[in-house]
A and B are shown apart, each in its own frame.
Chain A
Amino acid sequence: MYLYDAIDKDFLADRAAEFRGQVARRLAGELTEDQFKPLRLMNGLYLQLHAYMLRVAVPYGSLNPTQLRAFAHIARTWDKGYGHFTTRQNIQFNWVKLGDAPDILDHLAGVDMHAIQTSGNCIRNVTSDPYAGATAQEVDDPRVWSEVIRQWSTLHPEFSFLPRKFKIAVTAAETDRTAARAHDIGLKVQRGPDGDLGFEVMVGGGQGRTPYLAPTIRAHLPASRLISYLEAILRVYNRHGRRDNIYKARIKILVASLGAEEFARQVEEEWLKIAEGADLPDTELARIRGSFAPLDFAILPPRSDVFEAAKASDKAFARFVRNNIKAHKQPGYGIVEISLKAPGATPGDASAEQMEAVADLAERFGLSDIRATHEQNLVLPHVKLDDAPAVHAALAAVGLATPNINLISDIIACPGLDYCALANARAIPVAQSIAERFADPDRAETIGELKVKISGCINACGHHHVGHIGILGVDKKGEEFYQLSLGGSGAEDASLASILGPALPADKVADAVDRMVEAYLAIRQDGERFLDTFRRAGMTPFKEAVYVDAH
């Protein structure tokens, strides 16, 4: 992973000291709330329903054990003993006190972390593939390009006051684990017709109240021209993006109103004005690439006798293998997904003890590498199959061995009205009610891949527009109701979900999901996922199942 140099470290220390001064001036009355609010937001500090919330950036979801232990320390010292991993691969602390925030930023700076650009109308943390460097699918390591973008976009003076926030995703594999088309810019690393490295550039995706999937505006951008091309996109957006209406300020609205072709034309025109000198020098790229040098993998046979024996003798481990251990590019290794979605748990929450346990496992068995996923889970990307039974046992000991990755109980949910000042309805209890309904692991496996995503308001932090089943909490005359939608996907087969019908009260949502699942099981054909069946059969069978009692 990328390592900070002395200049980076000094900068973070200075920034934390600056914020300490700003907090002192606010408490002394020298700054009004209106003056102070943008300053605290620039340091990721929001005021929510019960307390301040600190959102800490996890660059492209990549962590080392020291950093995860720092999160555990923050959770235990300044919060209520846990943290919440978000749908943007970040972590949030829900119970932060303003007076403690400078100490927390100091502690983060001590492990090369910060909360800069986790709020505000700037370029946010880059989303990337949590399997980066581990999957055989990738044509290049997307973390290299994510890091290039991180360095370019951090404190970029021209792009610090955009019309609205801006999110970039980088994926390099056929399987999209980043929801690239749901981002302001999605970049897919690929080989061009001549074998040269480059990017498919998608621009203008996003969720919120007006969801769009990003159209491709350039089929193949040479990798060496990435920064100048991004700069051209951002300049067109900065110039023409709407600043008069917050609901129309995202780049997706600009792209949709101009049309992808005209937007692309304007970008190309702007790009011509930017000299190649604006691009990253090869030496700098090589330096960054050096931070992601291939790891020292052991040479192992693809088959592990220890692993196979454990699978044969331990049903719980066998189930964990089926659902949570994914193929690694290196023979004898596996990618271990750690579900933060145990039945009854709050999706994305991890206790200080759990974080420390994962940090220990990463050190002992995982080449000290940890990832956060946008689906609110953690990953140990490099585990020897020989060690997998021990990792499974250690995870089980701290309640982290839930074998449900990509199954119906692996639900994305935003904090919702339990914490968030913007929310209209709760999301967490709805997720819990569905997870409990489908707690039987045999049934969940029979159902197969089914992505349920829940947002507590139209801002769609819970990604409901790209859920196979999306659930949106609405305030209907003062009551919590939930609008169901079907057929979304944030993966490589991206699509936006369509609304099923009238919204349901909270206590009917799990029933409705159950009925739709039964309808799917009744009509699915060979190998179909829920999403495939929906795409073939359409809305009618699911509508019939949910609203059958309405007559």
Chain B
Amino acid sequence: MKALTANRLIDGEVVFWRAGQWVERFADADLFDANDPAAEEAATAGKAQPTVVVDAYLIDVDQGPAGPAPVSYRERIRALGPTNEPDHGKQAEGGDAIAALQAATGAARSTGRVDLIRRK
């Protein structure tokens, strides 16, 4: 799956594309199938709003244990807020949608795999 994200020009807030509008919560974002041409169409439409957002781009989304979540750790941090300040950013709102993002693991979460530690 894919979602379209950007930072809002006026305040830098992380926003997501939903039906031609920009919304603040990842849970409200339109999710496109990987090969759906609507994703690229949304990106084109989003980039055509340069007085509303900065740097619109598509991100990869996968099904997590409690719902869809961005694949990369960086994008999950954008969708939640900084991990050192749980009361700052979107995560402060709490609720199931935030919990679903926080439950997601995957590409960029450290797993502590000791088998990668080898002496050179």
Residues of A within 8 A of B (CB): 26-29, 32-33, 47-52, 80, 94-99, 346, 417-419, 426, 428-429, 432, 475, 478-481, 501-508, 543, 547, 549-551
Q: Is the CB of B78 within 8 A of A418?
A: no
With CB as the reference atom, state the residue of chain A lying closest to B53: A33
Q: Which of A33, A96, A346 contacts B54 (CB 8 A)?
A: A33
Q: Which of B12, B85, B116 contacts A47 (CB 8 A)?
A: B12
Q: Is the CB of B10 within 8 A of A97?
A: yes
Name the distance in Å between B33's Cβ and chain A's nearest Cβ: 22
Q: Is the CB of B11 within 8 A of A99?
A: yes
Contacts A505-B113, A506-B110 given: A428-B84 contact, CB under 8 Å? Answer: yes
Q: Is the CB of A479 within 8 A of B107?
A: yes
Contact sample, A vs B, 9 pairs, CB 8 Å cutoff? A27-B9, A47-B54, A47-B55, A50-B78, A97-B10, A98-B9, A418-B77, A549-B117, A550-B119
Q: Is the CB of A478 within 8 A of B119?
A: no
Q: Enumerate chain A residues within 8 angstroms of B31, measured Cβ to Cβ.
A: none
Q: Number of B interface residues, CB 8 Å?
A: 37
Q: Is the CB of B119 within 8 A of A501?
A: yes
Q: Is the CB of B111 within 8 A of A505?
A: yes
Q: Which of B7, B50, B108, B117 contacts A504 (CB 8 A)?
A: B117
Interface residue ranges of B38-79 to A (CB < 8 Å): 50-51, 54-55, 72-74, 77-78
Contacts A50-B78, A479-B107 given: A429-B114 contact, CB under 8 Å? Answer: no
Q: Enumerate chain A residues within 8 angstroms of B106, measured Cβ to Cβ.
A: 478
Q: Is the CB of A26 within 8 A of B9?
A: yes
Q: Enumerate chain B residues within 8 angstroms of A479, measured Cβ to Cβ.
A: 73, 107-111
Given A479-B109, A505-B112, output 5 extra A-B contacts at Cβ < 8 Å: A33-B50, A50-B12, A98-B12, A480-B110, A549-B117
With CB as the reference atom, state the residue of chain B lying closest to A97: B11
Q: Is the CB of A429 within 8 A of B83?
A: yes
Q: A304–B78 Cα gap in the complex (Å)?
A: 53
Q: A89–B107 Cα gap in the complex (Å)?
A: 35
Q: Enumerate chain B residues within 8 angstroms of A475, measured Cβ to Cβ.
A: 108
With CB as the reference atom, state the residue of chain A lying closest to B10: A99
Q: Is the CB of A48 within 8 A of B108?
A: no
Q: A493–B77 Cα gap in the complex (Å)?
A: 39
Q: Is the CB of B118 within 8 A of A547?
A: yes
Name the distance in Å between B109's Cβ and chain A's nearest Cβ: 7
Q: Enumerate chain B residues within 8 angstroms of A504, measured Cβ to Cβ.
A: 117
Name the distance in Å between A27's Cβ and chain B's nearest Cβ: 7
Q: Enumerate chain B residues within 8 angstroms of A551, measured Cβ to Cβ.
A: 119
Name the distance in Å between A396's Cβ and chain B's nearest Cβ: 23
Contacts A29-B51, A49-B74 given: A96-B117 contact, CB under 8 Å? Answer: no
